[in-house]
Amino acid sequence: MRYFIALRLKRKSDGLIGLENIGAKLLDSNYEPKDPAFRNMLEGLDISPSDNGTSVFWFLVEDANQSLEELMAFNETEAVISYSWFEEEKNKVRYYRGTEYFDATLALAEQVQLKDATRTIEYQVKRRAA
């Protein structure tokens, strides 16, 4: 399955290593500028940097090994969104224009579950043995 996964980390590169360690295939680490609906939805989520020096980085991954719930169980995971759900919701409003489109895609954020941003994020980057 394909997922958008938001990871709260100190550096984006830490996420790339972490995703590799769990066997997820990275499809895109810079999706936001490519899809206005996705960008609008993220604006609706209103995720901000935390006090502990971390930021949220979004990745599009393919992972046949882990479910959405298993990915959410990682402490660094801020949110997980099914790619197929997002595409289905986006297609429902694809003929909307201007403010109507913006409002509809912004409202998708209401259906996304976020973790508490004040939780402690402590991790060590462990590279997979070759």
CA dist 107 and 49 (Å) reads: 22
Q: List the chain domain ranges.
A: 2-111
Which of helix, strand or coil describes residue 39? helix
Q: What is the pTM of this model?
A: 0.85
Q: What is the largest CA-CA distance in the chain?
A: 50
CA dist 22 and 30 (Å) reads: 20
Q: Which amino acid is at 116?
A: D
Mean pLDDT, range 4-13, rounded to an integer = 90
> Average pLDDT, whole number, for the chain?
87
128 — pLDDT class (breaks 50, 70, 90): low
Q: Express each pLDDT in 71-85 by its tens digit.
A: 888 888 899 999 999
Tokens 């996304």 sit at which residue?
112
51 — pLDDT class (breaks 50, 70, 90): low
